[in-house]
Amino acid sequence: MIDLHTHTMFSDGVLLPSELVRRAYAAGYTAIALTDHVDMSNIDFVVPRIAEAAGELCKYSGIIIIPGAEITHVPPELIGGMVEKARDLGARIVVVHGETVTEPVVPGTNRAGIKARADILSHPGLISAEDAALARDNGVALEITSRKGHGISNGHVAKVAAETGAPMVINTDSHAPEDLIEREYAKTVLRAAGIPEEDVEGIFANSRKLVDKIGRI
């Protein structure tokens, strides 16, 4: 299992990075990204701390650990600059918190994250075909999520991504130990989103390609 969207105590998760990594390893993960919520108020603090923790933990944990950030509820006009700043501060993978149907995300956030060339647009809700096509052209992966609530729109995301050729990945958006999943359950989530069985491995491969692109710390 590769999971490129998780949270620690540095935002609204309940685990220290070290415990999250250990639990992910025990669950059979081969790679994990630590992508705590950031905006203008905390990005300078959170991203360097996560990068430092990932750099130390990767020496001893038996798992690829990627420091990252999730740009969350930031006005669309500011997202491009925030994505760039997160990378400058040490985020190796940048997620933009998409227009989930369960939160009042500002309309236009999906488009702004895609235009900023974030690595992943998380739980993008009722994303339009136009935005999905732009994600395809910009190499931005659309997330299928196992997260309760956000996953309501998985079927729509999968349908629009398939129609436009936008890449998909599956993540957990973990905040607590029970949110981590095994690969077999990830397959179930993908199939439940309407993704044909023969396409499931390709979605796992998309996550692997992102990890290979980023490289080890």
- Can you read off the two tokens belonging to residue 67? 């420091």
| Distance in angstroms (rounded) separating the CA atoms of residues 60 and 45 | 24
For 194, the domain range is 2-214
Q: How many CB atoms lie within 10 A of CB 20?
A: 28
pTM greater than 0.85: yes
CATH number at residue 98: 3.20.20.140
Cα(31)–Cα(29) distance, integer angstroms: 6
Q: How many domains does the chain have?
A: 1
Phi-psi region of 184 (alpha: psi -120 to 50; beta: other; left: phi over 0): alpha
Residues 6+ apart with CB under 8 A from 20: 6, 8, 13, 32, 34, 174
pLDDT in tens, the chain (217 residues): 999 999 999 999 999 999 999 999 999 999 999 999 999 999 999 999 999 999 999 999 999 999 999 999 999 999 999 999 999 999 999 999 999 999 999 999 999 999 999 999 999 999 999 999 999 999 999 999 999 999 999 999 999 999 999 999 999 999 999 999 999 999 999 999 999 999 999 999 999 999 998 864 4
